[in-house]
Structure 1
Amino acid sequence: MSAALILRDDFDAISLRHLAKGCRNAKQSRRLLAIAAVYDGMSRADAARVGGMDRQTLRDWVLRFNEQGPDGLVDHKATGAPMRLTPEQIKEFITIVEAGPDPETDGVSVWRSQDLVHVLEERFGVSYKDRGVRGFLRRLGFVRISGRPQHPDQKAEVIDVSGRFILPEKGK
């Protein structure tokens, strides 16, 4: 048999139902109603059923409610992994990317993500994978640009300087 849930004494079932009624977050409202059922003396299983969860999940929400109150019943966004570079290093990395590679020292004429992986490791001691560098560049505001494909038999005289094709006149 499960142990009884101990709740804080500054709330009661009526006040939690009132909060749930005015709540704009549906998940928080369900959690408030489940905890109100616990205040009414329902078993943990029945109160969990009111909130659409299992008993263990209800227990976890009750612990959070006891610590943080009704505001603790809102889902928090995951913050993600912390940045590996300092703001100064990020600024330096941006200038490296904008300046482009030096073919003599870097050995490449255009930055690729795998080249920038090596730059980050050598200059900052930070390890990224290709995909991580691409996402990092996207968050910094860079976009991937690829050259226009050109057919090997294409005639230079049919292309305008603007890059548009010029249709030849009929009969010529």
Structure 2
Amino acid sequence: MPGPKPLVLVLSDRERRVLRGWLRKQTASQALVLRSRIVLTCAEGRPNAQVAEKLGISRETVRKWRARFVADRLEGLVDKPRSGAPRTITDEQVESLVARTLDQAPPTGDSHWSTRSMADVAGMSQSAVSRIWRAFGLKPHIVQTWKLSTDPEFVTKVRDVVGIYLAPPENALVLAVDEKSQIQALDRTQPVLPLAPGTPARMTHDYIRHGTTSLFAALDIASGSVIAQHYRRHRHQEFLRFLKTIDAAVPKDLELHLVLDNYATHKTEAVKKWLLRHPRFHLHFTPTSASWLNLVERWFAELTCRKLRRSAHRSVTELERDIRHWINEWNDNPKPFVWTKAADAILDTLAAYCTRNSDSGH
């Protein structure tokens, strides 16, 4: 017996344009392309059996999408968003987990929460705990060190140092000066294995010490070039010798403004007397426990990461020669570190941080 008469399907001009557009659209899903072909073919007046044979699909599929289009038109061909599985973790459980992470210590006596210990207490999976922590930016496994300066002249010194960075005096050179002491000449107990495809360079964790050196450095904040000198000891005598090195390296017509920390060797009587005889030197001291204000520390970080951390040396002389070569290469193409934050912005940030911690009871 013949099947039921198919539903009459007539397209408007707009619907025909949309369907043909879906056929050409590269980002359209294969399912939407097939449904568009079904409707366009049905609109030619063909019965379901002929449409199914032409497109190589079942008559039931043709019947389904013909009926869907007649009922809902173009919207009937587009998949509706699925609701997904119902939530198994409530807002109250999330709030409780976050509060426990912030305010309570693990019952096991551990120093900090892990996903496993929190999952056991909260009755959730480790992956659920991890997702919640990521959503709220919680990282119990990470701790950062910090120290707030208690220098009674903190504000004055911050304004002085930042001011010299942002507005250097005319006819003057601003140098950020410090010492990187106790640089060790270390040699690995076995040869370093080189980098290979799929394998990083490898070195032994143990090493042999061959002595230490100290590097005195003065970073020109304008050009990024560095005046540097090695000394085997780290006393005011070496600091004085380095001041003389700076004095000889910089043209006599320039004033010299040095940004320094509060290390005792910078303030001895011998240093003060020498400075009185060399009035072009002007010292600007950073607050105590505020080495982040000295830009040469940023350059020391470059030296450590790019040279010292993965080097091996069999003697102090070899270490000093290697560092000197690296500094020469740096000075051939120096890169200044540009200070951008104003003193008021720094002080406002610190004030807000102190207020926040005071209000939290910590």
- Same fold, TM exceeding 0.5? yes
Q: Does 1:93 align with 2:88?
A: no
Q: Does 1:12 align with 2:17?
A: no
Q: Distance in 2 between matches of 1:51 and 1:21?
A: 16
Q: Distance in 1 between matches of 2:118 and 2:56?
A: 48
Q: 2:135 aligns with which of 118, 140, 145?
A: 140
The answer on whether the counterparts of 1:35 and 1:62 sit within 8 Å (CA) in structure 2 is: yes
The answer on whether the counterparts of 1:13 and 1:40 sit within 8 Å (CA) in structure 2 is: no
| Cα distance, 1:13 vs structure 2 | 4.0
Greater RCO structure (CA 8 Å; 6+ sep): 2
Q: 2:47 aligns with which of 43, 50, 69?
A: 43
- 2:100 maps to a residue whose letter is I
| Cα distance, 1:70 vs structure 2 | 0.6
Q: Deviations over 1:77-124 (max 9, x none)?
A: 434223233335434433334x27613x35544433333333333xxx
Q: Compared with structure 1, are the counterparts of its residues 74 and 40 closer, same or farther at alpha carbon in structure 2 (3 Å cutoff)?
A: same
Q: Distance in 2 between matches of 1:132 and 1:55?
A: 45
Instruction: Give the match's secondary structure for 2:88.
Output: coil
The answer on whether the counterparts of 1:17 and 1:36 sit within 8 Å (CA) in structure 2 is: yes
- 2:117 maps to a residue whose letter is D
Q: Compared with structure 1, are the counterparts of its residues 94 and 41 closer, same or farther at alpha carbon in structure 2 (3 Å cutoff)?
A: same
- 2:89 maps to a residue whose letter is L
Instruction: Give the match's secondary structure for 2:80.
Output: coil
Structure having the larger proportion of residues in strand = 2
The answer on whether the counterparts of 2:94 and 2:132 sit within 8 Å (CA) in structure 1 is: no
- 2:122 maps to a residue whose letter is L
Q: Distance in 2 between matches of 1:71 and 1:77?
A: 12
Bigger-Rg structure (1/2): 2
2:66 aligned partner: 62
Q: 2:86 aligns with which of 49, 64, 82?
A: 82
Q: Compared with structure 1, are the counterparts of its residues 86 and 74 closer, same or farther at alpha carbon in structure 2 (3 Å cutoff)?
A: same
1:114 aligned partner: 116
Q: Distance in 1 between matches of 2:120 and 2:85?
A: 21
Structure 1 gap ranges (5+) = 122-127, 148-152
Instruction: Give the match's secondary structure for 1:33.
Output: helix
| Cα distance, 1:34 vs structure 2 | 0.9
1:171 aligned partner: 315
Structure 2 gap ranges (5+) = 143-204, 210-300, 317-362
The answer on whether the counterparts of 2:16 and 2:40 sit within 8 Å (CA) in structure 1 is: yes
Q: Compared with structure 1, are the counterparts of its residues 69 and 88 closer, same or farther at alpha carbon in structure 2 (3 Å cutoff)?
A: farther
Q: Compared with structure 1, are the counterparts of its residues 14 and 95 closer, same or farther at alpha carbon in structure 2 (3 Å cutoff)?
A: same
Q: Deviations over 1:49-93 (max 9, x none)?
A: 555643333333334324432112113343422323333543443
Among the aligned pairs, what percent are the same residue? 20
Q: Distance in 1 between matches of 2:41 and 2:93?
A: 53
The answer on whether the counterparts of 1:20 and 1:32 sit within 8 Å (CA) in structure 2 is: yes
Structure having the larger proportion of residues in helix = 1
Q: Compared with structure 1, are the counterparts of its residues 3 and 85 closer, same or farther at alpha carbon in structure 2 (3 Å cutoff)?
A: same
Please tell me the root mean square deviation across aligned C-alpha atoms, in Å.
Answer: 4.3
